[in-house]
């Protein structure tokens, strides 16, 4: 590496473009804005292939977040972001500032943040360091979310060896814009319009944070603590209210969050979108530390800061809004016609760079890739103790998830209809309407390790089923793509294949990708993470009466499986990982034509209100889904499965396109008719009963053992 971590070819590229040697401050500015975290130099070529448009999409990739229309004038704004490296170094602050950053992305569009979801990956908890990371991350997320009054309504958590020392912390935020509300863009336009910096003072925390997120973690991670930002959720709450109030007034042209690369990124990206330039006077930036240099001011990633582009004649009124909320608001520069980023410090021009150089002219890298050989499935010997142990593990998992959700205030704002851990998706009502939104976040790194493309297709199709299982109609995706070092051929192969799998599924299911994030360089030493795409998905319930919950409702109701038992397989499953410590075989095959028909069927039949509960089959297989439905409903089951030699496959095997549904006996004929109309398969498993949890001829548990979580 050369100057500030730039490659030699990048350094020469800068010199050719500028036809001069940048000064030290300019090199620092270029290095952070050309970091992987900001420039997407390994990924942007491939992300361009995504389906990003639909009649309900107002804003796709390119802004701080995606925007979709819900109907009746309401709009939904959402995005997922990662904060992996900071959380590995300082788990509490790393995850807390991850929440703060994604909330401000939503706020920058003019939307009120209404929900958070998290997707978390950690190493095994019998390791003290992994437990420290786990406790710190969960505490940081709950602390920031609870303090700012935005509920954490859903998520997932996975423990695997490969995430030891490098946890994955992906946080999704969703915001809403009511009828008549204005969507803002991160645009700096209009010569003479003023740049208003609002919120916290600028300090030295997060210096070169974007560069830190674009490189491998060092063995001595404590040395990287200065790169981690420090959050203040109480100021974050004030900033939310002040920005929403200011945004309701005339005179605000654009709003931009200050995140990675601080002022450099916020101002250059805003100017690029607006086809303009900016001049900034760094002495005017409010500072909380003495003797800060121009470089530190420019690239600091101090939290709780926003940029507003404001018409000069309206500036006093806008500043008074922030004063009312006890927040600083200072004019630090203005918009110019010439497409340049110019910065002055103590009367000296310290930066004079073309906007295009900072935002569009970074090199793209397309390194070689190498296909990794598949891991064949070994022959396993049956062991009744392993089977019993895995069942206890599934019951215990319910307890762990409940513990995590108890840390979050998911009822704040009083919109949560279906809380976390009680369904395939969270459901939030939209006040004063009959509408509700369904939200989910999902991923399976183990599947993607075995087959990146098929694993990614599984992630998209499962997220779709999660929305369908609560009575929602899937609308759009935000993706968080987590990988190791892209210069390693196997890793870059994984990335290419994952993007392809997401793209294929998105197009066939007609669910566009409207926002997202890519995080490379996850792993430490020889410990490489699984390729881990995270799919956040949103859907709409046009009528809250369409709501389906996963808990079994009434005795004597029928339990059906939509799909085929033959699709279940223990290859790549949680069962063989836990019971035999093996990750091998192929992930579930995704038949997208089936998934599309299933999607159409569920979107149609929800309006008939005959499906009383629904739950898809994923990790842990058929047995796990039935355990959860019984646990949530406090009802037993009487189910009969075929008597086969490989009954572990039936109980614990995983498959794509499979949903368990509950219907009443009186609706059986109509249900079967609708299944045939959509050319689907449905297998009658059994019925809901009082007393025991019985899967003949294999399992007969007292229901009390399930409800008490095996204690």
CA 579 to chain centre: 29
Q: What percent of the chain has pLDDT over 70?
A: 95
Q: Secondary structure of the chain: what % helix, strand, coil (to 5)?
A: 40, 25, 35
Contacts of 390 (CB under 8 A, 6+ apart): 575, 578, 579, 652
- The DSSP annotation for 453-507 comes to HHHHHHHHHHHHHHHHTTT-EEEEEEEEEE-S-TTSHHHHHHHHHHHHHHHHHHH
pLDDT at 439 > cutoff 90: yes
CA angle (356 as vertex; 352, 357 as ends), nearest 5: 65
Give the count of alpha carbons within 13 A of 348, CB side only.
Answer: 6
Instruction: Supply φ then ψ for residue 438, to 5 degrees.
Output: -110, 135
pLDDT at 44 > cutoff 60: yes
DSSP state of 70: E
DSSP state of 665: G
CA angle (285 as vertex; 281, 286 as ends), nearest 5: 155
Tell the residue number behind the tokens 């009658």, with chain if given.
Answer: 684
Q: Rounded distance, CA 680 to CA 663, Å?
A: 17
Quote the tokens at residue 151.
């509920």
In tens, the pLDDT along 518-556 reads: 999 998 767 789 999 999 999 999 999 999 999 999 999
Can 37 be counted among the known catalytic residues?
yes
pTM above 0.85, yes or no: yes
In tens, the pLDDT along 164-192 reads: 989 999 999 999 999 999 999 999 999 99
Quote the tokens at residue 20.
């001069």
Q: Active-site residue among 37, 42, 85, 615?
A: 37
* Residue 404 pLDDT class (50, 70, 90 cuts): confident
576 vs 164, 255, 394, 583, CA distance in Å?
20, 50, 13, 7
* Residue 1 pLDDT class (50, 70, 90 cuts): very low
Quote the tokens at residue 199.
């919120």
Q: Active-site residue among 83, 85, 208, 615?
A: 83
Instruction: Supply φ then ψ for residue 680, to 5 degrees.
Output: -105, 175
Judge residue 643's burial from the number of C-beta atoms within 10 Å of its C-beta, 0-12 exposed, 13-18 middle, 19 or more buried: exposed
pLDDT at 653 > cutoff 90: yes
Q: Rounded distance, CA 368 to CA 355, Å?
A: 30
Per-residue pLDDT at 227: 56
* Residue 3 pLDDT class (50, 70, 90 cuts): low
Per-residue pLDDT at 386: 83
In tens, the pLDDT along 75-104 reads: 999 999 999 999 999 999 999 999 999 999
pLDDT at 403 > cutoff 80: no
Find the Cα–Cα–Cα–Cα dihedral 162, 164, 167, 168, rounded to 10°. Answer: 10
Tell the residue number behind the tokens 């095996």, with chain if given.
Answer: 710
Can 222 be counted among the known catalytic residues?
no
* Residue 710 pLDDT class (50, 70, 90 cuts): very low
Q: Rounded distance, CA 523 to CA 532, Å?
A: 12
Q: Rounded distance, CA 239 to CA 307, Å?
A: 11
The predicted model gives 213-237 an average pLDDT of 67
DSSP state of 644: -
Instruction: Supply φ then ψ for residue 497, to 5 degrees.
Output: -70, -40
pLDDT at 220 > cutoff 70: no
Cβ atoms of 75 and 67 closer than 8 Å: yes
């Amino acid at each position: 590496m050369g100057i500030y971590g730039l490659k030699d070819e990048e350094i020469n590229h800068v010199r050719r473009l500028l036809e001069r040697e940048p000064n030290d401050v300019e090199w620092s500015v270029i290095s952070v804005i050309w970091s992987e975290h900001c420039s997407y130099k390994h990924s942007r070529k491939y992300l361009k292939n995504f389906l990003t448009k639909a009649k309900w999409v107002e804003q796709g990739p390119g802004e701080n977040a995606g925007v979709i229309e819900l109907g009746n004038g309401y709009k939904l704004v959402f995005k997922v972001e990662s904060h992996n490296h900071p959380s590995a170094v300082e788990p509490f602050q790393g995850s807390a500032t991850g929440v703060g950053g994604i909330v401000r992305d939503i706020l920058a569009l003019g939307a009120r943040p209404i929900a958070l979801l998290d997707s978390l990956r950690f190493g095994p908890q019998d390791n003290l360091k992994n437990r420290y990371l786990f406790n710190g991350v969960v505490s940081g997320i709950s602390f920031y979310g609870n303090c700012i009054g935005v509920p954490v309504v859903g998520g997932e958590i996975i423990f695997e060896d490969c995430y030891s020392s490098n946890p994955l912390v992906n946080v999704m935020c969703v915001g809403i814009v009511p009828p008549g509300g204005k969507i803002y863009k991160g645009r700096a336009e209009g010569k003479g319009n003023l740049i208003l910096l609002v919120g916290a003072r600028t300090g030295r925390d997060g210096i070169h944070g974007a560069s830190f997120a674009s490189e491998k973690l060092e063995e001595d991670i404590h040395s990287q603590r200065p790169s981690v930002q420090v959050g203040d959720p109480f100021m974050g709450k004030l900033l939310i209210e002040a920005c929403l109030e200011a945004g309701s007034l005339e005179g605000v042209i654009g709003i931009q969050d200050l995140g990675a690369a601080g002022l450099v990124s916020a101002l250059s990206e805003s100017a690029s979108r607006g086809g303009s330039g900016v001049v900034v006077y760094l002495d005017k930036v409010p500072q909380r530390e003495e003797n800060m240099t121009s470089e530190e001011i420019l690239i600091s990633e101090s939290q709780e800061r926003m940029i507003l582009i404001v018409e000069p004649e309206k500036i006093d009124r806008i500043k008074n809004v922030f004063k009312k909320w006890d927040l600083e608001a200072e004019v630090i520069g203005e918009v110019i016609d010439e497409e340049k980023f110019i910065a002055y410090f103590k009367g000296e021009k310290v930066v004079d760079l073309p906007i295009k150089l900072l935002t569009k002219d970074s090199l793209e890298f397309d390194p070689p890739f190498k296909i990794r050989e598949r891991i064949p499935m070994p022959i396993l010997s049956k062991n009744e103790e392993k089977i019993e142990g895995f069942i206890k593990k599934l019951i215990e998992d319910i307890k762990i998830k409940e513990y995590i959700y108890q840390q979050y205030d998911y009822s704040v704002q009083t919109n949560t209809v279906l809380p976390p851990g009680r369904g395939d998706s969270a459901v939030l009502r939209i006040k004063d309407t009959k509408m509700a939104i369904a939200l989910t976040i999902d991923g399976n790194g183990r599947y993607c390790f075995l087959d990146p493309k098929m694993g990614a297709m599984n992630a998209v199709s499962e997220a779709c089923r999660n929305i369908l299982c609560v009575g929602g109609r899937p609308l759009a995706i935000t993706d968080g793509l987590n990988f190791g070092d892209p210069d390693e051929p196997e890793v870059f192969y994984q990335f290419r294949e994952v993007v392809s799998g997401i793209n294929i599924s998105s197009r066939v299911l007609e669910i566009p990708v409207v926002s997202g994030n890519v995080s490379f360089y996850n792993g430490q030493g020889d410990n490489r993470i699984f390729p881990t795409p995270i799919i956040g998905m949103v859907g709409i319930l046009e009528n809250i009466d369409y709501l389906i919950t996963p808990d079994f409702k009434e005795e004597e109701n029928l339990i059906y499986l939509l799909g085929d038992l033959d699709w279940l397989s223990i290859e790549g499953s949680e069962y063989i990982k836990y019971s035999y410590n093996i990750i091998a075989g192929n992930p579930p095959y995704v038949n997208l034509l089936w998934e599309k028909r299933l999607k159409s069927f569920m979107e149609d039949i929800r309006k008939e209100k005959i499906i009383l509960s629904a739950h898809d089959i994923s990790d842990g297989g058929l047995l796990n889904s039935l355990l959860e439905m019984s646990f949530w409903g406090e009802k037993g089951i009487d189910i009969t499965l075929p008597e086969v030699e490989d009954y572990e496959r039936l109980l614990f095997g995983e498959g794509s396109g499979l949903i368990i549904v509950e219907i009443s006996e009186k609706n059986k004929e109509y249900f079967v008719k609708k299944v045939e109309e959509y050319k689907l398969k449905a297998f009658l498993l059994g019925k809901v009963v009082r007393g025991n949890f019985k899967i003949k001829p294999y399992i007969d548990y007292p229901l009390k053992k399930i409800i008490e979580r095996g204690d």
